[in-house]
Amino acid sequence: MKIIATVVKGKCLGGYHKVGDIFEITGDRMPGGICMGALLNMVPMVIGLQNGAKYRWEKDKDKATFHCADEPGLTFELRRVKE
C-alpha cells in the first residue's frame, strides 16, 4: 500500500512547498524534501491510514486531510492507494 500526499491549499511559510506538490509514501519510508512542519503532523495520519484507520470527519474512508504546524501553513490531503 502507498500513501499519496498532495498539497491542496495554503502558503508555505518557509517556501518549501506549493499547491500541487505531490509526495509518494511507501512502507515506512518518507520521501525527501518534506519540511519538518508538515512532517510533524503528517506521520501520525500516514501511520493511521497504513493500518486501516478511517477518519470520521472524512467522507472518503481512504483520505485524511491535515494542516501543517507552521502558520499560515498548508493543507495536505493524504490518500490511501491499494496496489
pLDDT tens digits, one per residue of 64-78? 999 988 878 899 999
pLDDT band (50, 70, 90) for residue 23 = very high
- Three-state SS at 22: strand
Q: Classify residue 23: in a domain, yes or no.
A: no
Q: Classify residue 71: in a domain, yes or no.
A: yes
CA 8/CA 38 separation, integer angstroms: 13
Query: What per-residue confidence (pLDDT) applies to 32?
Result: 83
Query: What per-residue confidence (pLDDT) applies to 5?
Result: 95
Instruction: Give me the domain span that covers residue 2.
Output: 1-11+35-83
Residue 71 identity: E
**Hey, what's the torsion of the CAs at 24, 5, 36, 1, to 10 degrees?**
-50
Evaluate if pTM is beyond 0.95.
no
Q: How many domains does the chain have?
A: 1
Strands 63-67 and 2-11: unpaired
